[in-house]
Chains A and B, each alone.
Chain A
Amino acid sequence: VRGTKTTVLVNYFDELAAGLGEKIRQAKDGEVARRRFALEIARLGRRLFSGEDKVAWCGVLAPFDLLNAMGVTSCFVEFVGAILASSGNVAALLEEAEHAGYSTDGCSYHRAVIGAALRGLMPRPDFLVATSAPCTGGVGLLENLARHFRKKIFLLTLPQSNGERGAAYLAAQIEKMVEFVSAQTGRQLDPERLRRAIEYTNEARALMAEAYELARAVPSPVRSRDLKNFGVVMALFLGTEAAVEISRTYRDEFAMRCERARHNPPPPRLRLLWIQNRIQFKSPLVSLLEREYDADVITDELNAITWEPLDPDDPYTSLARRMLSIPFLGPIEHRIEELKKLAKSYRVDGAINPCHWGCRQGTGARGLVEAGLKEIGVPVLNLEVDCVDPRNFSEGQLRTRLEAFIEMIGQSRRN
């Protein structure tokens, strides 16, 4: 175990996992998908903090299935920021980073992680993998962590285009990354293990696609919290059996809910698209939507599957293609087109964009995103909010704006 502070976190994840396991066993209504997902997060947390595994801190778009196949427990660092925010203990860590000179204008996911590292709450990794996308701030964070931990860092530069040239450039870098990881861990990549990991990834992808297809139904089986952070965190489990099991559980649960709704149709509710990040700390916004405004977030931008199944015979190129399919690269038109596709296929009434303070890549183009969705008749509510830092959260103001927005889309629906 790497230190007393991280031991406390290991105990926390153990207790969390035990509690979730018990709840899953006791569930009588078959509603276990979200808990199964959370259980895997707890297990991942334990592995990251226990000191027993090889650990890599990474950028959001790192090929986690490949790292899993190499026996490395890896995680994008923003995940830690989100966990800290949801635990309610993030404010002190943000202050720690700010006292060390990190600007309050920067991303609070990143500041929370730096604060945790400075306080000795981040386990020392074996190495780091930075990804040049989705944001330049993330590269800076990983560079700072590499400096802090005195560990080696590998950089994956993602070009903006998914064409042959870009994919070949990135695929060659991924191949180099495998050499780098082998050098850091002393472990070679076993081709059979990679093949199996790719099979798991593809199976999970197919099941997720089925779950999303069910989510598009009217009425949707999805409740606002079901898929919070789902797509982005599932990336960490790709290449493992756990990803398959979680995806299957969601698929089955949504199918069951659709069946129930067929026999006993619920009253109509508003259908919403959530753009980019959820608010990670406890806030009443989603409850307000569900209880007071009869509205559900039925799809998240970050959950969309934008990639084709991986090719086990050409793993590096297909991993590169998956990474480059993410709509946050290159010009905004690509992202707007993907958002339009999501909005149409889920038949949403409106979209909520929590304009995370400090996020240039995601929030930066909010005016263009709003205009793009308006073209297909989907209104967007831009909220001024920080998704990780609760210190300036203004519930009253947000409630008023939410109320006005819901009223407006309810009215246009009636018309």
Chain B
Amino acid sequence: MQERQLIGFACAYTPLVLLQAARFTPYRILPIGEAPDRAGSILHDNLCPHVKRILDRALADDLPELAGVVFMNSCDAMRRLHDGWGAARPRDRRILLDLPMEAGEAAVDYFASELKRLGRTLGEWGGAALGESAVAASAECYGKLYGLLEEASRLAARGKLDGGSAKLQELFNLSVTRPPQEASSVLEQAISEAPSASGGLDGRVPILIFGNVMPDPQAFSLFEECGVRVVCDDLCTASRMHAPATLPAGENYLQALARSILSRPRCARMLDPATPGALAKDVARRARESGARGVIAHVVKFCDPYLGRMPAVRDELRSTGFALLVLEGDCTMRSLEQHRTRIEAFVEMLR
């Protein structure tokens, strides 16, 4: 079977269901690889390394053939990535989609109209016309993938996934760079090979990893080497990449999709006006529910949404009795390796 064309994307809020329904394969351009550091010639060096490393890949042509790139207007850095992409690869087709910051009805309506605009654009890029049945089929396909990733995450948290949390991250990366059906098959295989006996904690300390971008499986190997058992994650390159999209009968499918995307576990760029500081409460709740003994926050440098919320997260975790270790990184293992001693000390403190 002929492989579908790829559509590049960079933000976890990208509506993968629509890309797949239009008969493209979503391809997340992850900030990994060895592309030379050149993004500063287009954007300022004070932009987040996630965005700069993706632009480095574009400048180095370290990408597969893409039919187009979908950018989300999710934060200043992502908007600038859209702009920088135009300079780096002016012939690429690209679209910048608005993403409301909250999930009220007006926001859902507006975002649904943005999804409609995306659907038209995908058609212009050679995609299939979008209809309710195609979108429902795609949502089901991603729903299955989401369920499998959840299962794999549970196994990894109990020490039963062969390869541990590094393997889990490989699977997360696969789920956004390969067709969802293929990723599901690989996941089914990995899950079926899981030993029936629980690995237990093996002396490791249960930790919630929270933050934004950390796609390199080696990062998780490092955590495990330091004595961490990742029992839950809240990262935009891991569990936050997928959320189930339910399309209830009687509701416009784009509305339903918009609602599900806006209501998924939040990135720090979202604001719940009814609950200022909601992100911090979410982190504490997830730590409690997952049985974590502490929280490691990994935030890429210059990420305003996360850096601005870290004091609130620290306050909330302190008041709920969870220890917190904050690591700033630049999406490279080099930066994370520098924190090895701190991670080891943090784990030691929690034993």
Contacts and interface: CB of A to CB of B under 8 A. Distances in A.
B32 interface: no
A410 interface: no
Contacts, number: 146
A105 B308 contact: no
B57 interface: no
B73 A160 contact: yes
A310 interface: no
Contacts of A155: 101-102, 271, 273
Interface stretch (A27-35, A183-191, A357-365, A398-406): A357-365
B304 A137 contact: yes
A186 B166 CA distance: 56
A1 interface: no
A101 interface: yes
A364 B308 contact: no
A144 B304 CA distance: 13
A105 B302 contact: yes
Interface stretch (B38-46, B141-149, B151-159): B38-46
A291 interface: no
B47 interface: yes
A147 B312 contact: yes
A56 to B, nearest CB: 14
Contacts of B98: 159-161, 166
Nearest to A336: B83
Interface string B258-277: 00000000001101010011
A55 interface: no
Interface in B270-309: 271, 273, 276-277, 301-302, 304-305, 307-309
Contacts of B79: 330-331, 361
B343 to A, nearest CB: 19
Interface in B68-114: 73, 75-77, 79-80, 82-84, 86-87, 96, 98, 100-102, 106-107, 109-110, 113
B163 interface: no
B302 A368 contact: no
Contact of B305 (A105, A107, A136, A176): A136
Chain B, interface size: which category? 35 or more
B126 interface: no
B276 A147 contact: yes
A331 B106 contact: no
Interface string A193-210: 000000000000000000
Contacts of A132: 100-101
A116 to B, nearest CB: 15
B101 A101 contact: no
B134 interface: no
B304 A169 contact: no
B102 A136 contact: no
B304 A367 contact: no
A160 B96 contact: yes
A358 to B, nearest CB: 7
B77 A360 contact: yes
Of A139, A144, A166, A173, the most chain B CB neighbours within 10 A belong to A139
Of B40, B96, B308, the most chain A CB neighbours within 10 A belong to B308
Contact of B87 (A105, A137, A368): A368
Given A155-B271, A169-B106, A360-B77, A146 B276 contact: yes
B23 interface: no
A220 B309 CA distance: 45
A153 interface: yes
A8 interface: no
Contact of B46 (A130, A161, A364, A371): A364
A256 B133 CA distance: 70
Of B41, B48, B76, the most chain A CB neighbours within 10 A belong to B76
Chain A, interface size: which category? 35 or more
Nearest to B75: A136
A141 interface: yes
B84 A137 contact: no
A103 B301 CA distance: 9
Interface string A133-147: 001110111011011
A364 B100 contact: no
A355 interface: yes
B28 interface: no
A137 B76 contact: yes
Contact of A360 (B87, B113, B304, B310): B304
Interface string A331-375: 111000000000000000000000101111101111110010000
A106 interface: yes
B87 A103 contact: no
A8 to B, nearest CB: 26
Given A102-B308, A154-B273, A165 B80 contact: no
Contacts of B43: 364-368
Contact of B73 (A140, A146, A169, A330): A330
B199 interface: no
A368 B42 contact: yes
Contacts of A358: 46
Nearest to A154: B273
A143 B46 contact: no
A110 B84 CA distance: 26
A136 B312 contact: no
B311 interface: yes
Given A139-B271, A140-B304, A368-B42, A157 B101 contact: yes
Given A102-B311, A147-B312, A365-B43, A135 B76 contact: yes
A96 B326 CA distance: 19
B271 A130 contact: yes
B74 to A, nearest CB: 8
B117 to A, nearest CB: 9
B160 interface: no
B229 interface: no
Given A157-B107, A360-B304, A100 B311 contact: yes
Given A132-B101, A137-B76, A153-B271, 10 more contacts: A136-B75, A136-B304, A143-B277, A144-B277, A144-B308, A169-B106, A360-B76, A360-B77, A363-B44, A367-B40
17 contacts: A103-B307, A110-B308, A136-B75, A140-B308, A140-B309, A141-B308, A143-B309, A155-B101, A155-B271, A157-B101, A159-B110, A332-B80, A361-B76, A361-B80, A364-B43, A367-B43, A371-B87
Interface of B: 40-44, 46-48, 73, 75-77, 79-80, 82-84, 86-87, 96, 98, 100-102, 106-107, 109-110, 113, 268-269, 271, 273, 276-277, 301-302, 304-305, 307-312, 314, 328
Q: Which 6 A-B pairs have the closest CB atoms?
A: A140-B308, A360-B76, A137-B304, A101-B311, A146-B276, A332-B83
